[in-house]
Amino acid sequence: YSHNNRVNRWNKNVITYNIGRYTSDLPHSTVDSLIESALSVWARASTLTFVRLRTQRADIMVEFSTFEHGDAYPFDGSKGTLAHAFGPGEGIGGDAHFDDDETWTAGSKGFNLYLVAAHEFGHSLGLRHSQNPESLMYPTYKSSRSSHNLLSKEDISIINSLYGPKNSQ
Ligand SMILES: CC(C)C[C@H](CC(=O)NO)C(=O)N[C@H]1Cc2cn(c3ccccc23)CCCCCCNC1=O
Ligand SMILES: [Zn+2]
Ligand SMILES: [Zn+2]
């Protein structure tokens, strides 16, 4: 669920992210590359670039946590809600939280972190849920999404409406 903010887009094209608490389901290096891949889904379809910070607070703080974790949206244990993210804005704006009571994987068992993160980062950039089951921003997890073209035409038109079409390189 994207907890909406007043602003609906970032007013810059270089967006920073920082991975705080990790899950113990996967090696840190695997989490790092799945998060980077999930962000590059949106980078490829927009004018946005993502820069990883390691020490300072970033626009998008990524963390794994369980139940009550410091915002008004406690997680619910295994299954149920898998993750949530906040729309663009200061502080908690843009942040993406993943329920560590899920089993996070890089493959088809448990819940695929790349697929879920790509959905959450859509919210971090200002997208809301879609009614189209083919869209990445559909509110229910689908393990069958093909990992090489995750975004529907609708997802792409919405990211373009927010940040302008991919500048022709
Ligand atoms: C899109 C996804 C990556 C993020 C969304 C949340 C979201 O929109 N974050 O931005 C999510 O977790 N959706 C639930 C929705 C949901 C499905 N069920 C639920 C049972 C209880 C509570 C929620 C659910 C039925 C049982 C299956 C439970 C496991 C899968 N869960 C889901 O698909
Ligand atoms: Zn969502
Ligand atoms: Zn949270």
Tens digits of residue pLDDT in 53-74: 999 999 999 999 999 999 999 9
* pTM exceeds cut of 0.90: yes
Average pLDDT score over the chain: 94
44 CA distance to ligand 2 centroid (A)?
20
Query: Measured from the CA of 139, which atom of ligand 1 is nearest?
Result: 1
Asked if the model's pLDDT at residue 168 lies above 50, the reply is no
Q: Is 2 in the pocket of ligand 1 (CB under 6 A)?
A: yes
Asked if the model's pLDDT at residue 144 lies above 60, the reply is yes
Asked if the model's pLDDT at residue 163 lies above 50, the reply is yes
Q: What is the pLDDT of residue 169?
A: 41
For 94-122, the pLDDT digits (tens) are: 999 999 999 999 998 999 999 999 999 99
Give CA–CA dist 26/113, Å, rounded: 10
CA 119 to chain centre: 5
Using pLDDT thresholds of 50, 70 and 90, give the confidence band for residue 161: very high
Q: Is 142 in the pocket of ligand 1 (CB under 6 A)?
A: no
Active site residue 120: yes
Query: Measured from the CA of 116, which atom of ligand 1 is nearest?
Result: 3
- Which is more confidently placed, 69 or 167? 69
Q: Is 97 in the pocket of ligand 1 (CB under 6 A)?
A: no
Asked if the model's pLDDT at residue 6 lies above 70, the reply is no
Kindly give, in sequence order, each residue whose CB lies less than 8 Å from that of residue 3, ignoring residues fewer than 6 positions away. Answer: 71, 72, 73, 84, 85, 86, 87
Query: Measured from the CA of 76, which atom of ligand 1 is nearest?
Result: 22
Marked catalytic residue, from 90, 120, 134, 154: 120
